Structure 1
Amino acid sequence: MVNGVDNTGQGWGATRLWVEKSVGAQVEQAVALHGGITSEMRRLYVGGERPRSVVLRSFVMEFYVRHARGLLTREADILTLLARTGVPAAELIAVDPAGDHCDHPSLLMSLLPGEVRLDIPGADERAPLLARQLLDIHRVEVGASERPRDYEAWTTADEVEAPEDTRRPDVWRRAIDVIRRRPPTYRPVFLHRDFHPGNVLFTGAGEDLRVSGVVDWVETSWGPADLDVAHCSTNLALLHGAPAGLAFAEEYAAAGGQLAPDPYDRLYWRLLDALAFAPDAEDVADPWRALGRTDLTEDLVKERLEDYVQAVLDLCTRETDAS
């Protein structure tokens, strides 16, 4: 502890001074928050006349430091925009996107109530709440001048690498061929772009279970609702198995969301997201294990991704046969 602050991890002396100037009070303690991949997150306990907790995001990895100006400026703009909506996002306090005042590019925001819940028990009860929250995000109305950037695909057919030890190479070939086509036409909406259970906070239990916050708005985009639904679906498949991933689109539709009417178009968006996890799907599970999901071994996550890709292809076949 230095001046009451946990200084484990990356140095942050200048950042602490910037925080204290921004909030007008001393930082009494800092605690690392787990569950993220791209940045270092801290919960800061602030003293003064109004003791409270705030959250600090700092980009410390070289790749993200290079892109921090765009990422953190985007997140600051989005948090400002969301403040006038009903979406439970954090309040922006201050941002130093280029690291002009901090040890690393940083953003300071309010602390949201609740916690990330990734446990297997309760997953079925959380899924419809996730779907309704995602639909609320997609319904955010923005003027042309406020629209976030157009979505970016996170992989291409030429970039996908099937796992070397796969026993189903034909599944990967079929899936890769699907995303070789030109992207389907779509009605654009406001996308979180990285919506999944690790970025959603919950409070309560049973009938009192509620979404209390949605975090990590650095990838917010303008694009097809299918893509956000697909990303959450892939994550649910990795967390709980392929059936959970397939079911999320049904939850979204049941909540009133509209997905592409053509099965082949839905297939495209689902696979465009899922294939972006190959061949290193196990990397996404590192923060999940830190949050208690120690059952998510590398082999299990890789197997679940392949199972999900197979299941998505099979679902499209059933849907087209039925139409």
Structure 2
Amino acid sequence: MGWPGAHFGALPARARAWVEASVGRRAHVLRARQLRGGTASAVHAVDVGTPSGRVLRLVLRRNVRLTWLMEEPDLAEKEARNLQLLERSAIPAPRLVAVDPNGADCDVPAVLMTRMPGRLVLQPADIEPWLRRMAELLPPIHAFDPGSVLVQKWVLWDDLRLCQPPGWSRRVRDWERLIEIVRGPWPAYEPRFVHRDFQHYNVLWSRGRPTAVLDWVNASMGPVELDFGHFRRNLVADFGFEVAERFLHLYREVVGAEPDPFWEALNLTPEWAKTEQQRRELDAYVGSLVAKIG
């Protein structure tokens, strides 16, 4: 369900006017095109001309899903706050230009930010260096200290504790064991700064190297394995279990530590496995987690 009057298509006149007002007097939108992706928001690349002749290359995220905003009305405000926080870091992330936290000026709650260079690489020609560089992105994120700034505590999106073994599984006992494990006591962890939606759909690349990490709305304080496990789950879905295992080995090399598999298991629910192939790969993943946890 969308925000009344808002949509994912062409950039509305009211949103254009807000962008221009946010950039400054006599600024004008030259071009706007919708970017791929975005399930809860409409994202546009916007080129804005200024009186000096300079062209600003920006991105506008408009939160158009009413159902999401009913659950989290401060989505735009959170993203803006996180982007401001990241200005103190060396993490390659967009910079905040303006925010309309409640849609009073833009047509919906919105964030205007700088456009980062690069493009998505979803099917790398050589997956090994791609995986390693994804792993290398994580330590600087997790080492970032927000200081006195209050960052939200992590939220559990997918909860295996609420699930039953899927009827399609050939590893029902492994599922039962994993569910039993996560229903038990949680291990202690040191809260660290985490992206929370770290995956290849949120990383831009140029000439074989990452240029930006995007989509910081859910940045939180939590176990570092939340980022590691979220990406592993996406690797299992898109590339298969063996590729996800290869990322595990590379991650170990990069961080010099063994990630706690409990946090992977806690977020691992069966609903996202839609195809027969994904279900086979997920079963293999579940079996490996049971073997690691015991």
Q: Give your verdict on TM over 0.5.
A: yes
Aligned counterparts of 1:242 and 1:217: Cα–Cα separation in 2: 27
Residue of structure 2 in register with 1:29 after alignment: 31
CA contact (8 A) 2:160 2:268 kept: no
Q: Gaps spanning 5+ residues in structure 2: where?
A: 1-6
Return the letter of the residue paired with 2:271: P
Q: Does 1:273 align with 2:292?
A: no
Return the letter of the residue paired with 1:22: S
Aligned counterparts of 1:52 and 1:306: Cα–Cα separation in 2: 48
CA 1:188 to 1:259, structure 2 compared with 1: closer, same or farther past 3 Å? farther
Q: 1:41 aligns with which of 40, 43, 50?
A: 43
Residue of structure 2 in register with 1:237 after alignment: 236
Residue of structure 2 in register with 1:303 after alignment: 280
Give the match's secondary structure for 1:279.
Answer: helix
Give the match's secondary structure for 2:154.
Answer: coil
Return the letter of the residue paired with 1:279: E
Residue of structure 1 in register with 2:195 after alignment: 192
Aligned counterparts of 2:224 and 2:254: Cα–Cα separation in 1: 13
CA contact (8 A) 2:62 2:109 kept: yes
CA 1:122 to 1:97, structure 2 compared with 1: closer, same or farther past 3 Å? farther
TM-score, length of structure 1 as denominator length? 0.81
Q: What's the Cα RMSD here?
A: 2.1
Q: Gaps spanning 5+ residues in structure 1: where?
A: 1-6, 261-265, 283-297, 318-323
Q: Cα deviation per residue 1:195-239 (whole Å; 9 max; x = unaligned)?
A: 1111111110xxxx2210000111111111122111111111212
CA 1:163 to 1:29, structure 2 compared with 1: closer, same or farther past 3 Å? farther
Return the letter of the residue paired with 2:43: M
Q: Cα deviation per residue 1:8-38 (whole Å; 9 max; x = unaligned)?
A: 7276221111011111321122111113322
Residue of structure 1 in register with 2:162 after alignment: 159
CA 1:161 to 1:19, structure 2 compared with 1: closer, same or farther past 3 Å? farther
Residue of structure 2 in register with 1:286 after alignment: none
Q: Cα deviation per residue 1:23-80 (whole Å; 9 max; x = unaligned)?
A: 1321122111113322111111222321132111111112222245422212111111
Return the letter of the residue paired with 1:311: S
Q: How many corresponding residue pairs?
A: 284
Return the letter of the residue paired with 1:215: L
Residue of structure 1 in register with 2:246 after alignment: 247
TM-score, length of structure 2 as denominator length? 0.88
